[in-house]
Protein backbone atom coordinates (compact mmCIF):
# COMPACT_ATOMS: atom_id res chain seq x y z
CA UNK A 1 0.00 0.00 0.00
CA UNK A 2 1.02 3.62 -0.56
CA UNK A 3 0.98 5.78 2.58
CA UNK A 4 1.21 9.51 3.26
CA UNK A 5 2.15 10.35 6.87
CA UNK A 6 1.14 13.67 8.43
CA UNK A 7 2.24 14.81 11.89
CA UNK A 8 4.98 16.08 14.14
CA UNK A 9 7.41 15.08 16.88
CA UNK A 10 7.75 11.58 18.30
CA UNK A 11 4.33 10.27 17.21
CA UNK A 12 5.14 11.37 13.65
CA UNK A 13 8.46 9.51 13.60
CA UNK A 14 6.95 6.45 15.32
CA UNK A 15 4.26 6.13 12.66
CA UNK A 16 6.85 6.50 9.92
CA UNK A 17 9.08 3.80 11.43
CA UNK A 18 6.14 1.45 11.96
CA UNK A 19 4.97 1.99 8.38
CA UNK A 20 8.43 1.25 7.01
CA UNK A 21 8.64 -1.92 9.11
CA UNK A 22 5.30 -3.06 7.67
CA UNK A 23 6.91 -3.08 4.21
CA UNK A 24 4.42 -0.54 2.89
CA UNK A 25 5.61 2.41 0.83
CA UNK A 26 5.65 5.95 2.18
CA UNK A 27 5.04 8.14 -0.86
CA UNK A 28 4.93 11.43 1.02
CA UNK A 29 5.24 13.10 4.43
CA UNK A 30 3.92 16.42 5.72
CA UNK A 31 5.52 17.93 8.84
CA UNK A 32 3.79 20.41 11.11
CA UNK A 33 6.48 23.08 10.76
CA UNK A 34 5.09 23.71 7.27
CA UNK A 35 1.90 24.91 8.96
CA UNK A 36 3.21 26.56 12.12
CA UNK A 37 6.15 28.56 10.66
CA UNK A 38 5.98 31.06 7.80
CA UNK A 39 7.79 29.75 4.67
CA UNK A 40 10.25 32.66 4.68
CA UNK A 41 11.45 31.91 8.22
CA UNK A 42 11.23 28.14 7.75
CA UNK A 43 13.62 28.41 4.79
CA UNK A 44 16.36 29.83 7.02
CA UNK A 45 15.48 27.60 9.97
CA UNK A 46 15.83 24.48 7.83
CA UNK A 47 19.31 25.64 6.78
CA UNK A 48 20.75 26.90 10.05
CA UNK A 49 18.68 25.15 12.75
CA UNK A 50 16.80 22.20 11.26
CA UNK A 51 14.25 20.59 13.57
CA UNK A 52 14.20 16.94 14.57
CA UNK A 53 11.38 16.14 12.15
CA UNK A 54 13.29 17.46 9.13
CA UNK A 55 16.49 15.68 10.15
CA UNK A 56 14.53 12.46 10.59
CA UNK A 57 12.83 12.76 7.17
CA UNK A 58 16.14 13.43 5.45
CA UNK A 59 17.74 10.40 7.11
CA UNK A 60 15.15 8.19 5.41
CA UNK A 61 15.13 10.21 2.15
CA UNK A 62 11.35 10.66 2.27
CA UNK A 63 9.44 12.87 -0.15
CA UNK A 64 8.24 15.98 1.67
CA UNK A 65 4.97 17.64 0.74
CA UNK A 66 5.42 21.42 0.70
CA UNK A 67 2.11 23.11 1.51
CA UNK A 68 0.78 25.60 4.05
CA UNK A 69 -2.15 23.47 5.28
CA UNK A 70 -3.67 20.02 4.94
CA UNK A 71 -6.73 21.81 3.59
CA UNK A 72 -4.84 23.82 0.98
CA UNK A 73 -5.12 23.37 -2.79
CA UNK A 74 -1.40 22.57 -2.90
CA UNK A 75 -1.79 19.69 -0.45
CA UNK A 76 -4.84 18.37 -2.30
CA UNK A 77 -3.01 18.46 -5.66
CA UNK A 78 -0.08 16.61 -4.15
CA UNK A 79 -2.31 13.90 -2.67
CA UNK A 80 -4.10 13.43 -5.99
CA UNK A 81 -0.72 13.08 -7.68
CA UNK A 82 0.65 10.61 -5.11
CA UNK A 83 -2.63 8.64 -5.07
CA UNK A 84 -2.14 7.06 -1.61
CA UNK A 85 -4.21 4.24 -0.17
CA UNK A 86 -4.03 5.81 3.31
CA UNK A 87 -3.26 9.17 4.88
CA UNK A 88 -1.90 8.40 8.35
CA UNK A 89 -2.08 11.20 10.94
CA UNK A 90 -0.12 11.41 14.19
CA UNK A 91 -0.39 14.67 16.17
CA UNK A 92 -1.89 17.55 14.22
CA UNK A 93 -3.47 20.90 15.05
CA UNK A 94 -5.72 21.44 12.04
CA UNK A 95 -9.21 20.11 11.46
CA UNK A 96 -9.28 18.14 8.20
CA UNK A 97 -11.94 19.06 5.66
CA UNK A 98 -14.15 16.28 4.32
CA UNK A 99 -12.77 16.81 0.81
CA UNK A 100 -9.28 15.93 2.08
CA UNK A 101 -10.37 13.05 4.34
CA UNK A 102 -12.01 11.30 1.40
CA UNK A 103 -9.03 11.52 -0.97
CA UNK A 104 -7.19 8.25 -0.08
CA UNK A 105 -8.50 4.95 -1.50
CA UNK A 106 -8.95 3.29 1.91
CA UNK A 107 -9.24 6.30 4.20
CA UNK A 108 -7.59 8.89 6.43
CA UNK A 109 -6.58 7.30 9.74
CA UNK A 110 -5.66 9.14 12.92
CA UNK A 111 -3.59 7.77 15.80
CA UNK A 112 -4.93 9.27 19.03
CA UNK A 113 -3.00 8.63 22.29
CA UNK A 114 -5.92 7.57 24.47
CA UNK A 115 -8.51 4.81 24.62
CA UNK A 116 -11.27 6.51 22.67
CA UNK A 117 -14.00 7.53 23.14
CA UNK A 118 -12.44 8.60 26.45
CA UNK A 119 -10.04 11.52 26.55
CA UNK A 120 -10.77 13.11 23.23
CA UNK A 121 -8.87 16.36 22.84
CA UNK A 122 -5.33 17.73 22.62
CA UNK A 123 -3.66 16.69 25.91
CA UNK A 124 -4.50 13.09 26.82
CA UNK A 125 -0.99 12.38 28.15
CA UNK A 126 -1.47 15.00 30.85
CA UNK A 127 -5.14 14.43 31.54
CA UNK A 128 -4.98 10.70 32.27
CA UNK A 129 -2.22 11.24 34.85
CA UNK A 130 -4.05 14.17 36.45
CA UNK A 131 -7.18 12.06 36.78
CA UNK A 132 -5.39 9.09 38.31
CA UNK A 133 -6.14 6.65 35.49
CA UNK A 134 -4.48 3.25 35.69
CA UNK A 135 -4.33 2.58 31.95
CA UNK A 136 -4.33 4.37 28.62
CA UNK A 137 -3.21 3.50 25.12
CA UNK A 138 -3.48 4.42 21.46
CA UNK A 139 -6.49 4.31 19.17
CA UNK A 140 -6.39 4.14 15.39
CA UNK A 141 -9.64 5.45 13.96
CA UNK A 142 -11.04 6.63 10.66
CA UNK A 143 -11.19 10.39 10.58
CA UNK A 144 -14.38 12.35 10.04
CA UNK A 145 -15.11 16.08 10.09
CA UNK A 146 -15.09 16.20 13.91
CA UNK A 147 -12.14 15.70 16.26
CA UNK A 148 -11.38 12.17 17.53
CA UNK A 149 -14.90 10.89 16.83
CA UNK A 150 -14.49 8.54 13.86
CA UNK A 151 -15.00 4.72 13.89
CA UNK A 152 -12.30 2.72 15.69
CA UNK A 153 -10.07 0.34 13.73
CA UNK A 154 -7.66 -0.78 16.47
CA UNK A 155 -6.77 -0.08 20.09
CA UNK A 156 -3.76 -1.04 22.18
CA UNK A 157 -3.50 -0.58 25.95
CA UNK A 158 -0.64 0.20 28.33
CA UNK A 159 -0.49 0.64 32.10
CA UNK A 160 0.11 4.04 33.66
CA UNK A 161 2.53 4.03 36.59
CA UNK A 162 0.90 6.23 39.21
CA UNK A 163 2.26 7.12 42.65
CA UNK A 164 4.93 9.56 43.72
CA UNK A 165 7.59 8.14 41.38
CA UNK A 166 5.14 7.36 38.59
CA UNK A 167 4.91 8.35 34.95
CA UNK A 168 5.35 11.95 33.90
CA UNK A 169 3.66 13.44 30.86
CA UNK A 170 6.88 12.88 28.94
CA UNK A 171 7.45 9.24 29.93
CA UNK A 172 3.83 8.41 29.14
CA UNK A 173 4.11 10.11 25.75
CA UNK A 174 7.21 8.05 24.97
CA UNK A 175 5.41 4.85 25.96
CA UNK A 176 2.39 5.68 23.79
CA UNK A 177 4.54 6.58 20.79
CA UNK A 178 6.52 3.35 21.09
CA UNK A 179 3.25 1.46 21.30
CA UNK A 180 1.98 3.26 18.19
CA UNK A 181 5.06 2.18 16.25
CA UNK A 182 4.36 -1.53 16.69
CA UNK A 183 0.58 -1.10 16.47
CA UNK A 184 0.61 0.74 13.13
CA UNK A 185 2.69 -2.06 11.63
CA UNK A 186 0.05 -4.55 12.77
CA UNK A 187 -2.79 -2.30 11.57
CA UNK A 188 -1.41 -1.83 8.07
CA UNK A 189 -0.66 -5.52 7.70
CA UNK A 190 -4.24 -6.32 8.73
CA UNK A 191 -5.69 -3.73 6.35
CA UNK A 192 -3.62 -5.21 3.54
CA UNK A 193 -4.38 -8.87 4.26
CA UNK A 194 -7.67 -9.00 6.15
CA UNK A 195 -10.94 -7.22 6.68
CA UNK A 196 -11.15 -4.80 9.62
CA UNK A 197 -14.66 -3.77 10.58
CA UNK A 198 -14.74 -0.21 11.97
CA UNK A 199 -16.57 0.13 15.31
CA UNK A 200 -18.50 3.30 16.01
CA UNK A 201 -17.56 5.14 19.19
CA UNK A 202 -20.03 5.19 22.06
CA UNK A 203 -21.39 8.69 22.66
CA UNK A 204 -22.35 7.76 26.22
CA UNK A 205 -18.77 6.86 27.15
CA UNK A 206 -17.17 9.82 25.37
CA UNK A 207 -15.19 12.41 27.31
CA UNK A 208 -13.48 15.50 25.93
CA UNK A 209 -10.78 17.63 27.56
CA UNK A 210 -9.73 20.98 26.02
CA UNK A 211 -6.32 22.60 26.05
CA UNK A 212 -4.66 22.93 29.43
CA UNK A 213 -5.79 26.23 30.98
CA UNK A 214 -4.44 28.55 33.67
CA UNK A 215 -6.76 26.88 36.16
CA UNK A 216 -5.30 23.45 35.38
CA UNK A 217 -1.72 24.45 36.19
CA UNK A 218 -2.52 26.04 39.55
CA UNK A 219 -1.80 23.80 42.55
CA UNK A 220 -4.75 23.40 44.91
CA UNK A 221 -3.28 22.56 48.32
CA UNK A 222 -6.68 21.58 49.67
CA UNK A 223 -6.27 18.42 47.59
CA UNK A 224 -4.33 15.33 48.67
CA UNK A 225 -0.59 14.92 48.26
CA UNK A 226 -1.23 12.21 45.64
CA UNK A 227 -3.43 14.56 43.60
CA UNK A 228 -0.89 17.38 43.80
CA UNK A 229 1.91 15.03 42.82
CA UNK A 230 -0.15 13.73 39.88
CA UNK A 231 -0.66 17.28 38.60
CA UNK A 232 3.05 18.09 38.75
CA UNK A 233 4.02 14.80 37.06
CA UNK A 234 1.41 15.30 34.34
CA UNK A 235 2.80 18.73 33.46
CA UNK A 236 6.44 17.58 33.46
CA UNK A 237 8.46 18.63 31.48
CA UNK A 238 6.36 20.91 29.31
CA UNK A 239 4.65 23.19 31.78
CA UNK A 240 5.54 24.32 35.32
CA UNK A 241 2.90 24.29 38.03
CA UNK A 242 2.08 27.49 39.92
CA UNK A 243 1.20 28.48 43.48
CA UNK A 244 -1.15 31.39 44.14
CA UNK A 245 0.02 33.64 47.00
CA UNK A 246 -1.92 36.81 47.78
CA UNK A 247 -2.06 38.77 44.51
CA UNK A 248 0.81 37.06 42.75
CA UNK A 249 2.00 33.62 41.68
CA UNK A 250 5.01 31.42 42.30
CA UNK A 251 6.38 29.15 39.60
CA UNK A 252 7.52 25.77 40.95
CA UNK A 253 11.05 25.33 39.63
CA UNK A 254 12.33 22.59 41.92
CA UNK A 255 11.24 19.22 43.25
CA UNK A 256 8.17 18.68 45.44
CA UNK A 257 8.37 16.08 48.21
CA UNK A 258 5.75 15.13 50.76
CA UNK A 259 6.03 14.33 54.47
CA UNK A 260 3.65 13.55 57.32
CA UNK A 261 2.39 16.66 59.08
CA UNK A 262 3.33 16.38 62.74
CA UNK A 263 2.65 20.00 63.55
CA UNK A 264 -0.43 21.37 65.31
CA UNK A 265 -1.57 23.13 62.13
CA UNK A 266 -4.01 20.82 60.34
CA UNK A 267 -5.62 23.35 58.02
CA UNK A 268 -4.64 22.79 54.35
CA UNK A 269 -2.84 25.29 52.09
CA UNK A 270 -0.99 26.98 54.96
CA UNK A 271 2.65 28.02 54.63
CA UNK A 272 4.37 26.44 57.62
CA UNK A 273 7.89 27.56 56.85
CA UNK A 274 10.03 29.41 54.34
CA UNK A 275 13.78 29.31 53.77
CA UNK A 276 15.44 31.09 50.87
CA UNK A 277 13.36 30.11 47.85
CA UNK A 278 11.92 27.03 49.58
CA UNK A 279 8.40 26.59 50.96
CA UNK A 280 6.69 24.08 53.24
CA UNK A 281 2.89 23.99 52.70
CA UNK A 282 0.19 21.77 54.25
CA UNK A 283 -2.05 19.62 52.03
CA UNK A 284 -5.65 18.46 52.23
CA UNK A 285 -4.73 15.03 53.62
CA UNK A 286 -2.60 16.36 56.49
CA UNK A 287 0.77 16.13 54.78
CA UNK A 288 3.45 18.72 54.13
CA UNK A 289 4.63 19.59 50.63
CA UNK A 290 8.25 20.70 50.56
CA UNK A 291 8.92 22.77 47.43
CA UNK A 292 12.67 23.03 46.92
CA UNK A 293 12.61 26.13 44.70
CA UNK A 294 10.03 28.72 43.68
CA UNK A 295 10.28 31.83 41.54
CA UNK A 296 7.94 34.79 41.13
CA UNK A 297 5.95 34.63 37.92
CA UNK A 298 6.93 37.21 35.30
CA UNK A 299 9.73 37.97 32.86
CA UNK A 300 12.02 39.74 35.33
CA UNK A 301 10.25 38.88 38.57
CA UNK A 302 12.56 35.95 39.25
CA UNK A 303 15.22 38.45 40.26
CA UNK A 304 12.86 39.83 42.90
CA UNK A 305 12.00 36.45 44.41
CA UNK A 306 14.48 36.67 47.34
CA UNK A 307 13.12 40.09 48.35
CA UNK A 308 9.51 38.97 48.02
CA UNK A 309 10.18 35.82 50.02
CA UNK A 310 11.86 37.81 52.77
CA UNK A 311 9.36 40.62 53.20
CA UNK A 312 6.02 39.39 51.78
CA UNK A 313 5.82 35.68 52.64
CA UNK A 314 5.02 34.73 56.21
CA UNK A 315 4.31 31.52 58.07
CA UNK A 316 0.55 31.17 58.30
CA UNK A 317 -0.13 32.65 54.84
CA UNK A 318 -2.71 30.77 52.78
CA UNK A 319 -1.94 29.51 49.26
CA UNK A 320 -4.95 29.02 47.00
Rounded CA Rg of the chain: 23
Residue 251 CB neighbours (<10 A): 18
78 near 65, Cβ under 8 Å?
Answer: yes
Cα(110)–Cα(6) distance, integer angstroms? 9
Residue 40 CB neighbours (<10 A): 8
pLDDT digits (tens, 9 = 90+) for 161-215: 999 999 999 999 999 999 999 999 999 999 988 778 999 999 999 999 999 999 9
Strand order in the sheet with 107-112: 25-31, 2-7, 86-90, 107-112, 135-142, 152-159
User: Residue 63 — φ and ψ, nearest 5°?
Assistant: -75, 120
Residue 47 CB neighbours (<10 A): 8
225-311: CATH number: 3.10.25.10
User: Residue 228 — φ and ψ, nearest 5°?
Assistant: -65, -45
User: Residue 318: is its pLDDT beyond 80?
Assistant: yes
User: Residue 124: is its pLDDT beyond 70?
Assistant: yes
Nearest C-alpha neighbor of 243 from the set 166, 202, 296: 296
225 near 283, Cβ under 8 Å?
Answer: yes
Cα(38)–Cα(19) distance, integer angstroms? 29
190 near 196, Cβ under 8 Å?
Answer: yes
Mean pLDDT for the chain?
Answer: 95
The domains of the chain are located at 2-193, 225-311
Mean pLDDT throughout 296-320? 88
Give me the CATH topology for the region 2-193.
Answer: Rossmann fold (3.40.50)
DSSP tag of 204: T
pLDDT digits (tens, 9 = 90+) for 234-273: 999 999 999 999 999 999 999 999 999 999 999 999 999 9
Amino acid sequence: MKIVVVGYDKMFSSLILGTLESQNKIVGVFRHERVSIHPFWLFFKDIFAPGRDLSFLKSYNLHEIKARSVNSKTFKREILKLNPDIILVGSWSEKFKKSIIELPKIGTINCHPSLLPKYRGPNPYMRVIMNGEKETGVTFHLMDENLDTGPILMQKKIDIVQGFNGDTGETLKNKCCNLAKSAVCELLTSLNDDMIIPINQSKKEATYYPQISEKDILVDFTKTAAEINALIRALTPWQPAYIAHKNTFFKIKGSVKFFENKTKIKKPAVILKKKGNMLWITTGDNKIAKISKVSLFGTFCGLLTPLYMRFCVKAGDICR
